[in-house]
Amino acid sequence: MTNYKELFLITILCAIPFFTFSQRAPIKNSDAYKSGEHLKYSIRYSFITGGYVTFSVKDTSFNNTSCNYVELSAKATGIVDALYKIRDRYISFIDKKTDQPVKSIRDINEGSYKYYNEVIYDYDSLLEDSITIDSKKSGEVKVPYNIQDILSAFYYARKYDFNDNLKKGDVLFYTTYFSDEIFPLRIKYIRTETISTEYGKMECYLFHPVTEVGRAFKTEEDMKIWISRDKNRIPIKVKINLKVGSFVCDLIEFKGLNNSFSCIRH
């Protein structure tokens, strides 16, 4: 299962995924992102900056398939870095035609804790509603044919799910493969909301990823994610209430966006 220190990264990624069971039809926005996009976020606990998270996109290929190479990297700073030396990476090779992953990498380095795994997705193995994936950790596994990894799902959602077709109370259901197991996600749409940022006031979609009450969270609504209500559909702010305190993640740098930052209101 998931290392506790990865909870914040998973939260950021919960602005995501693919297998959507809500009854509304997705609206594709093929221009949501492009190669060269770079997003950087600060992670704060109270007044302490504990680290930074970056998302990046570039062109690549895998097994003669044209792909988007997308990477999430996390690095601790200051006192957190002194304690944990966090250097985490999630990588996904996303087929440009299908928006599904063909290869996933999870590379975790947190002090003495190390974890590395690669997963290959074999879509030619399709049988009824499942395909075979090959995990370096657990070997061949049968999964739903429209599975996503936890990072590719985020980019899928930017294209298909974050839009004005959402209605208050809609719950998006996603199936991903994460931590070498099927990992379901539920995200509840709350409303549109204008928030203050260092760039000015920005109109956003507000979501509550539904959390598991117990080990880290007190309620199912202890996460809030604000997604820009423009054609880019990027996370602007994330707030997490854990039993140990509150964390906030803010967008502090962006470049290579495929669309103007049109949601800014000064």
Q: Residue 33 has what pLDDT? A: 96
The string over 57-94, giving b where at least 16 C-beta atoms fall within 10 Å of a residue's C-beta and e elsewhere, is: beeeeeeebebbbbbbbbbbeeebeeebebebebbbbb
CA distance 69 to 66: 10
Distances 46 to 8, 126, 247 between C-alpha atoms, Å: 15, 48, 7
d(CA 156, CA 175): 12
Domain that holds residue 256: 4-265
pLDDT, tens digit, for every residue of 148-168? 998 998 899 999 988 999 999
What is the reported pTM? 0.86
Collect all residues with Cβ–Cβ distance below 8 Å to 20 and sequence separation of at least 6: 26, 160, 161, 172, 173, 174
- Looking at residue 28, its pLDDT comes to 63
182 token code pair: 């099927």
Place of tokens 């950021």: 12
In the chain, the number of structural domains is 1
pLDDT at 171: 87
Q: Which residues of the chain have a pLDDT value below 70?
A: 1-29, 211-221, 243-244, 263-266
Q: In this structure, are residues 247 and 239 in contact, taking their beta carbons and an 8 Å threshold?
A: yes
| pLDDT for position 6 | 52
Using CA atoms, how far residue 12 sits from 16, 66, 131, 133, in Å, is: 9, 27, 27, 25
